[in-house]
Amino acid sequence: MTNISIEAPETVRGQPYPGAPDNWRRFFTFSTDHKVIGIQYIVTSFFFFLIGGTFSMIMRGELITPDADLVDRTVYNALFTMHGSVMLFLWTFPVLVGLGNYLVPLMIGARDMAFPRLNAVSFWMIPVVGVLMLSSFLVPGGPSQSGWWAYPPVSLQNPTGNLINGQVLWILAVAVSGVSSIMGGVNFVTTIFRMRAPGMTWFRTPAFVWSVLAAQLIQLYGLPALTGGAVMLLLDITIGTSFFAPERGGNPVLYQHFFWFYSHPAVYVMVLPAFGIFSEVLPVHARKPLFGYRVIAASSILITVVSGSVWVHHMFASATPSWMRILFMVTSMLVAIPSGIKVFGWVATIWGGKIRFTTPMLFALGGISNWLFAGITGIFLASVPIDIHVNNTYFVVGHFHYVLYGAIVMGIYAAIYHWFPKMTGRMYYEGLGKLHFALTYLGTALTFLPMHPAGLMGLPRRVASYDLEFAYWNVIASIGGFLLGLSTLPFILNMVSSWIRGEKVGNNPWRAYGLEWLTSSPPTVENFEELPIVVSGPYGYGRSRPLVGNIPNPGLTEFPESLTQQKS
């Protein structure tokens, strides 16, 4: 074999920040380094993930018995509202922005994002969102109780009569999060369009970058619609306009249009980066090029386009005219085509590959299997007759949790494990990682699978008490929910201890083929000693072609067995 050395050159630079964690203080500063900001995003949002998870476990504790006995019904309403809002606005969005922040400039061979200071400002808005959102527990009347979608007229109720009430704080939090997301969207799109390394044409750009681009384009065209709706809702609550208030002649259904015009594509904002992660992780751990790379890359953009015209499928039961139902049923089902293309591409990638069941690979495969299931129930829900039958039942809850936890959170975990050696220069403990995967996968199935039969039987969502006939499925789901809570413990233990004492594994432990692995681990400030000149496309496994022309760079060697069997 005439393979090229894969070690990145050990550059010694006079860098202000040597590797982590000896310099952990920099994560608490207003840093403009995209790698610091990325980790700030990931860690901060994981903290909110734990808070949102605590809310959900209180709810699962309440639902373990048919009666509303653990918490008051109003508290339960506040809990599901806050659970949804925290998980979406403070965990899933920001953690994916964090991963994108860390990886996109490295993957496209840029020194930083296009607007580093704007990037830092976007991040520091996230704690503000968290404070606004959670401080609503302290105001009289408590947090918003209208669910994460805040439909009027429920969200227009203001029993305390105060100007500063839970609903207003919720809108303000969402508005700040929206500003942060728009700034992030502008930053990502500019970076990806204009900062790619010399020679990195569009079809040499990794699939993850494509998916982040597709997701951020959705933010740019979709989020303003939600902003518009939120402004009108805020005016209705605070100064008494009548946009959405039916008793004053307003039209509450219009809010639903504004809300879902963004919030359905928002699902793709979250799931597209997860798709990108699968597309990156599978080739590395199966030692094969990504099958159908160009089609997979282009299908991300196709999802962006189609997602702009699917939103009414959330409103089949909102007195929607039948021509509209049929139209949006068809467009919603169209999304299955690009998603299906991706799944076929992933399966073909691992087919006949030298698969190594490392933790990131397990999470990626688990995520894809869950995505397949969630996609199929998604087709159910896009179909008008079934949707009207299961509208507002646990079937819907089960479906979107399979998307969000089963596919997206698993993808996030896969990314964190896969790029952990990149971010820290150290390897995580494989045993703890596998334990984490087993608990997560089992917990996901136990929690969210029972919601489907319960929903088909007619268990409505957002209720604190239910008929005895649903008890069986609810008890199983609650046990699974606690298991999911438990599953974060080995993860936290693994991350903290590996970052401090994990084995140092050099710059490219996975023998991966990509620009981000060409530089040192953790990368220095400004990433590259010399900007790489890209001379071939990504995923060159088994091709013995250099990736860049101007610095020594990876060919491919055998994947070392020792990495899959680590002492933990």
Q: Identify whether 522 is preceded by a cis peptide bond (ω within 30 of 0).
A: yes
CA dihedral 176, 177, 183, 186 (to 10 degrees): -140
* Helix/strand/coil percent split, the chain, to 5: 65, 0, 35
233 close to 255: Cβ distance less than 8 angstroms:
yes
* Per-position x/- string for 505-534, each x denoting binding to other proteins as judged by CB under 8 A, each - no binding: --------------------------x-xx
Q: Tell me which residues in 210-249 interact with other proteins (CB under 8 A).
A: 220-225, 227-229, 231-232, 235, 239-243, 248-249
Smallest Cα–Cα separation from 368: which of 229, 433, 274?
Answer: 274
> Does residue 117 bind other proteins (CB under 8 A)?
no
Q: Which residues inside 53-112 make contact with other proteins, applying CB under 8 A?
A: 110
By CB under 8 A, what part of segment 533-562 binds other proteins?
533-536, 544-546, 549-550, 552, 555
Q: Give the span between the Cα atoms of 388 and 3, in whole angstroms.
A: 59
Beta carbon nearer to other proteins, 235 or 372: 235
Within its chain, how far is the Cα of 185 from the centroid? 15
Residue 194 CB, nearest distance to other proteins (Å)?
Answer: 5
Give the shortest CB-168-to-other proteins separation in angstroms: 18
Q: Give me the 177-216 binding string for other proteins, x by CB under 8 A, dash otherwise.
A: -----x--xxx-xx--xxx-xxx-----------------
Name the minimum Å distance from CB 182 to other proteins.
6
- The answer to whether residues 180 and 125 touch, using CB atoms and an 8 Å cutoff, is yes
Beta-bridge partner residues of 426: 504
Q: How far is the CB of 198 from other proteins (least distance, A)?
A: 4
Enumerate residues 6+ apart whose C-beta is below 8 A from 317.
Answer: 387, 388, 391, 392
User: Exposure of 533 by Cβ count < 10 A (0-12 exposed, 13-18 middle, 19+ buried)?
Assistant: middle
CA dist 121 and 77 (Å) reads 33
Cβ of residue 192: shortest distance to other proteins, in angstroms?
11
By beta-carbon proximity to other proteins, the closer residue of 14 and 249 is 249
Of residues 111 and 389, the one with the C-beta less far from other proteins:
111
Q: Which residues pair with 166 in a beta bridge?
A: 143
In which element (H, E) is residue 255 found? helix 252-263
Cis (ω within 30 of 0) for the bond into 21? yes
* Cβ at position 287, least distance to other proteins in Å: 19
User: In angstroms, what is the minimal distance from the CB of 86 to other proteins?
Assistant: 25
Tell me the site size for other proteins, rule CB under 8 A. 54
Binding positions for other proteins, rule: CB under 8 A: 2, 4-5, 110, 114-115, 182, 185-187, 189-190, 193-195, 197-199, 220-225, 227-229, 231-232, 235, 239-243, 248-251, 254, 258, 261, 531, 533-536, 544-546, 549-550, 552, 555
